Chains A and B, each alone.
Chain A
Amino acid sequence: MMRRVVTVAAMLVFAATAIPMQPVARAGAGSTQLTFTVWTFAVDTIKENINRFQTRVPNVTVNLTDYNWGQYNDTIVANFVGGSTVPDILYSSDHWLQQWAAAGWIAPLDDYFPQARELAKSFAPYAVEGMTYKGKLYGFPYYADPMAFMYNAAVLRQAGFGAPPQTWAEVLEQAKAIKAKGLVQYPIGFGFSLDEPFSIETVISMVYSEGGNLFDKDLNPAFDRAGSAMVKTIEWVREALRAGVMNPESLQWDGVQAGNAMKGGTQVFFITRASGLWELNNPQFSKQAGNFQLAFMPGATHETVGFVRFYAMSSNVPRRGKEALDAAWQFLNYFGGPGPDNNYPVVRRWALDFGLGFAQLPLFKDKDIRASFGRWVNVERLESIGQKHAKVKQGLTPWFAQWDVFARAELQKAYLGQQTAQQTVKNLASKWNELRRR
């Protein structure tokens, strides 16, 4: 009996000492811990990148957390408000930058890393604009892309069309013809879900493509004027739904679900980030691989939205002191910059392995990347869209994210015919002004 008691006691003592030792042993002596939060995309690749980073920079240990893309901003806001699980480095978007920066949740990089401003000169201007708040740089690009119009060329040929639509009227015309020939039930499908941040980027791209503006130079709404490009866009979507050529599930879809319909051959026209074409034309993921082409955004000007998603540093890092700041700089430089070996290890890998667009200008000359992109996209057209037609989103302010969420629901009501396009833009303008006054 006594022996059993001693054995159990010894096991308990061992367990009590061994369990807390585990993380320390993994972290290694003298290692600085960084927490890194991302939205759920290619998490295994992110983990590999982290492992490579830790091998190259052994004095930093990174702990990864990922959240669903659709609820990402809500979750991050809850984390910051709650204060218990604030990450050190996190993915952000031009959507949310001003909101997070105004709340003091993320820190300006150039306040702590003077070399960041110099490095930013090698980023595409629209990306720098999307990462800047009150003249301060808040991030290094994770990826940057223009929103693009893509189509299934094989179905278009079957329907007797030799070229993609040049105007939105032609999109409807071709879609109706495709449907009439029984080729595809719903030729058009967009990601207009209430949870989909790409939803507003799709709408703004359509507005830009007609030469429209959302705001004037003083940030007053310009979209609420009678006959504005926004009104025409809303009416176009309404007509596409009414005519049965846009999948009604579009109102529930995010970009991934709409992309899946493209890959499955049940959809012909789609708007998403240009790099989405990598997956559509990849035989590993798509039954229709090779059939998809990039087109200029239909409309009068073919202009579109260029956006940036980036690595931001939370205000938690400066509070932790110099060691954490040093670790954060090494991380940012490795993941969003040229890294210690001046070869953009992470950005380059995203481009080669996933076709993600980038804002790091030196990479546009990278032969490997050009060759790799050439396998799934017309590189010249992609460059042309990115450099000549992509514009940063108008209205990026601390209240843009809230207005965006409001806009998604109001636009859905208009698409469903529950309110007129004019009433919708009036509501959107009213909300914009309310948020601005707040």
Chain B
Amino acid sequence: MARANSRQRLGPLILGRATARPRGRLQWYAYLSILPALCFVALFAVYPVAFSVRLATHRYVLTDPHNHPFEGLRNVAEVLGSYYFRRAGLTTLTFTASVVASVLAFGVTVSHYLNRPGRLAGFLRVAILLPWAIPVVMAGIIWKWIFNGNYGVLNALLVSLGLIPSYVSWFGNPILAPLTLVIAHVWKWGPLAAIMCLATLQAVPRDLYESAHIDGGSGWAAFRYITLPFLRPTLLILLILETVGGFVTFDLVYVMTGGGPGDATSLLSWFAYAEIFRFLDLGKGAALAFIIAAVTLGLSLVYVRLLRLEALYS
């Protein structure tokens, strides 16, 4: 009886063949409801990607604007086979490995100290976030001035402390220039890592540390066997974010080094930009963008598989 009543109440939603027409109407209504969102996604995601596929598989050189023959995967093959891709790829891998390691180390170390009680703890937790709140381009400009070879504050400081005999051309040196990018990147993104780690650390029960202390465990042992296991899921998330972030870094390069000196800081994203806007080869630029996207997607998938939070916690 109750079942019959509920059927009556739900009406066309659960009745069979007899209610086919109203259900069709409802389906239309459902489709209409999501149509604006679909249009939005199509306009801002599907169309650009589809257009990029067209660019990558055709010859699109802007100095020859009316000639776009289909070239299949030739653009991809030419990009992959070029010396400059290999060079930019190696530079990108080195840069990404450096920033991932540095940001994680920064996050763990700083959060460890911020987690301690103290009068300045509240202030420091806010202050540490300031670099993260500054736009990347602004951060790049700040560091460009700090590292300036003629009037940079870092040179002045190091000379006044007697650590270097004369001003150093940070951006003119193919070994130091990539280092400046890593430092600026860590300054910009390290605080987020620190705050994420701090949030995790604050959830660690104090009793665990007290027990470790009572059992005679050292500070390092507490860190190794209590802090680090709790931090692992956060660190894995940061690993994904930083790997992808490092791989697609462009703005700092654009502002600070312009890919130089020579091609010492020419990352893959800069290489793609140069192919499009400097060499005016949209086809190769788009092909390169797909290669970068495929690599970052592949890396993300690997990391996501590792991210089995329950397993990690257990």
Question: Which residues on A are within 8 Å of B, measured CB to CB?
Answer: 73-74, 77-78, 81, 98-99, 102-104, 185, 193-195, 247-252, 257, 261, 398-399, 402, 405-406, 409-410, 412-413, 416, 418, 435, 438
Nearest CB to that of A261 among chain B residues?
B150
Which one of B7-15, B98-106, B170-178 contacts A? B170-178
Q: A193-B260, A252-B149 are in contact. List 17 more A-B contacts (CB 8 A).
A: A74-B278, A77-B62, A99-B63, A194-B260, A194-B261, A247-B169, A248-B173, A251-B172, A402-B280, A409-B262, A409-B263, A410-B262, A412-B260, A412-B261, A413-B261, A413-B263, A418-B174
Indicate if B207 sits at the interface (CB-CB under 8 A): no
B62 near A81: Cβ-Cβ < 8 Å:
yes
CA distance A78 to B277 in the complex (A): 7
B261 near A102: Cβ-Cβ < 8 Å:
no
Q: How many residues of B contact A (CB 8 A)?
A: 27
Question: Which B residues are CB-close (under 8 A) to A99?
Answer: 62-63, 280
Question: Which B residues are CB-close (under 8 A) to A185?
Answer: 166
A252 near B63: Cβ-Cβ < 8 Å:
no
With beta carbons under 8 angstroms apart, the residue of B61, B262, B279 that contacts A418 is B262
With beta carbons under 8 angstroms apart, the residue of A78, A195, A252 that contacts B261 is A252
Indicate if B226 sits at the interface (CB-CB under 8 A): no
CA distance A195 to B144 in the complex (A): 15
- With A194-B260, A398-B63 known as contacts, the answer to whether A252 contacts B171 (CB < 8 A) is yes
With beta carbons under 8 angstroms apart, the residue of A261, A399, A406, A418 that contacts B63 is A399
Nearest CB to that of A70 among chain B residues?
B258
Nearest CB to that of A248 among chain B residues?
B169
CA distance A365 to B314 in the complex (A): 89
> Measured between C-beta atoms, what is the minimum distance from A199 to chain B in Å?
11
B63 near A103: Cβ-Cβ < 8 Å:
yes
Question: Which residues on B are within 8 Å of A, measured CB to CB?
Answer: 61-65, 149-150, 166, 169, 171-174, 258-263, 266, 274, 277-282
> Measured between C-beta atoms, what is the minimum distance from A319 to chain B in Å?
15
Nearest CB to that of A404 among chain B residues?
B278
With beta carbons under 8 angstroms apart, the residue of A73, A81, A102, A252 that contacts B169 is A252
CA distance A405 to B258 in the complex (A): 11
A-B CB contact pairs (8 Å), 19 listed:
A74-B277, A77-B277, A81-B282, A99-B280, A102-B63, A103-B63, A103-B280, A193-B260, A194-B260, A194-B261, A248-B173, A249-B172, A250-B172, A406-B279, A409-B259, A410-B262, A418-B262, A438-B61, A438-B281
Question: Which B residues are CB-close (under 8 A) to A405?
Answer: 274, 278-279
B279 near A194: Cβ-Cβ < 8 Å:
no
Nearest CB to that of B273 among chain A residues?
A74
CA distance A437 to B167 in the complex (A): 45
Nearest CB to that of A104 among chain B residues?
B65
Q: Which 3 A-B pairs have the closest CB atoms?
A: A413-B262, A248-B169, A398-B63
A402 near B261: Cβ-Cβ < 8 Å:
no
Nearest CB to that of B258 among chain A residues?
A194
Question: Which B residues are CB-close (under 8 A) to A261?
Answer: 150
Question: Which A residues are CB-close (under 8 A) to B282?
Answer: 81
Question: Which B residues are CB-close (under 8 A) to A418?
Answer: 174, 262
> Measured between C-beta atoms, what is the minimum distance from A133 to chain B in Å?
11
A252 near B259: Cβ-Cβ < 8 Å:
no
B259 near A194: Cβ-Cβ < 8 Å:
yes
- With A77-B280, A402-B280 known as contacts, the answer to whether A248 contacts B63 (CB < 8 A) is no
> Measured between C-beta atoms, what is the minimum distance from B159 to chain A in Å?
13
Question: Which A residues are CB-close (under 8 A) to B281?
Answer: 438
> Measured between C-beta atoms, what is the minimum distance from A103 to chain B in Å?
5
Nearest CB to that of B254 among chain A residues?
A71
CA distance A387 to B61 in the complex (A): 37
- Most chain A beta carbons < 10 A, residue from B61, B62, B174, B282: B62
B172 near A248: Cβ-Cβ < 8 Å:
yes
Question: Which B residues are CB-close (under 8 A) to A73?
Answer: 278
Question: Which A residues are CB-close (under 8 A) to B63?
Answer: 98-99, 102-103, 398-399, 402
Nearest CB to that of B64 among chain A residues?
A102
Question: Which A residues are CB-close (under 8 A) to B260?
Answer: 193-194, 251-252, 409, 412
Nearest CB to that of A252 among chain B residues?
B171
- Most chain A beta carbons < 10 A, residue from B169, B259, B261: B261
A402 near B277: Cβ-Cβ < 8 Å:
no
CA distance A193 to B277 in the complex (A): 18
CA distance A185 to B165 in the complex (A): 13
B261 near A416: Cβ-Cβ < 8 Å:
yes
